[in-house]
Structure formats: C-alpha cells, structure tokens
Structure 1
Amino acid sequence: MASNENYLILKLSDRKYPIPYNDRERLKKRAEGYTDEPGKIGGWKTSLVTIWKTTKALAIFRGQILAEYEIEDSIKLNREEKKVLLNLKEIKNSKYLDKVLDYKTTNPCSVLNTKNFQYK
C-alpha cells in the first residue's frame, strides 16, 4: 500500500554537466543545487512554501530515481539568482532507488505525493 507523503522531485540534467552516477557525494551536491562549475552556485528555482511541504526529496534523471534524501532544516538562498540551495542527507537503501518514475513535468523542482507515484 502506498504511503501518503510529499516528495520534492529534483530532475537532474546532463545538458551542461554529466550525471555523477558513481560518486554519491557529487550526486548529492548536484541534488542540493550546486554545479560542477567553479565559482557558479546554481540552485533550484522554487519557493520556500514548496520546500516547506516536504521533508524528503528524490533525485531523478530521465525518470530513473538516483537517490532519496531527507531535507535538512537549513537551506541557503541565492538571492541574486532567486534560487534555493538545499541541505540534504542521503537515505541509504531507499526502496525507490533505481525505479523509473513516470512523471511528466517540465518543472525541474516540484512536489509529488507518493499516492501519485507511477512507474514505467
């Protein structure tokens, strides 16, 4: 039976930087909103209200769930770019890891309830 919990869905892109599949720390940094480019901060364009609705996040690439995270209490604001940098803690042995989520949205940072999870 599916639980009823909101997740922040973080859609990672390989348009500028490759996905660091085999480097859990770099993957976490990407999910937090940091870039691989020195001096460039990045971040997620979302509201604090959206983040407030969730306590967990899933990092996905082309639907595949790469990691599950707890969203820590502190975040960083990138006021210049109007973006948010998250502080995440990886959940080991996630039941969602490697599943392919069928979630069609162009929004790279959105909220999805587990009752609406559909897999390919």
Structure 2
Amino acid sequence: MRRFDDNNDFQRYILFSDEATFYLNRVVNGKFWSQENSHWTCESHTQHPQKVHVWAENLTVAPYLDFLTFDLMLVLAVIFPNEINSDIPNERISLQQDGAPPHFGIDVRRYFNVGDFK
C-alpha cells in the first residue's frame, strides 16, 4: 500500500499472470461438481497424454513468445541487454502471480548474476 501512496498510477504497473493446462484428449485441469457420482472416466492410450500449457498476462514488457522457440541464453541476451522496455521502467513493475514467490531457472539466475543487467 505504501507504493500506492507514493504513486497514484501504481495499478498500471502491476503485472498479473496466470496459467492453465489443456489436455488434447478434451480434459481441462478443472473441477467437476455434481450431486451424484457421474462415473466420469477418460480413456487414455498413452502414459503421458499430449497437452498444451497456456500462460497469459496483462502487461507486455518483453517478447516472451521467443522463449517458446529460441535458445534461452540468446533470447536473454537480446531481451535484456541493459533494460526491458524503456517505456516502463523496471523499478515500477510489480509481479503478482498467485501469491507465489518469484521462481527462476538456474540459467536465468546465472545470466542476471553475471550479466550487466540492472
């Protein structure tokens, strides 16, 4: 709340994100509620069903889609040479993701620890 008191536009710089997994056998990671047992089952012909993981956010500060198709270290070097986006200063962005603390891969942490990113 102190950040909001310091900046009346604080809500514009909150990054909300969420994710969901959709299985290609028509199953979604959701709950099904019923008054009676529906005896619902899903046939699966593989041990690990095919699935698509979807991530969405409300504030685009970097081209995250590149992470899906390119080498991670190359993408980090291109996206984060010295700043993310000159229109939105890094120190003004707050990430809220389901109340979870930040979680980064070891390669990403290593890049930021050794790199010139501020």
> Structures share a fold, TM > 0.5?
no
Which structure carries more helix by proportion? Answer: 2
Higher strand share: 1
- Answer with 1 or 2: which has the greater Rg: 2
Q: TM-score, normalised by structure 2?
A: 0.22
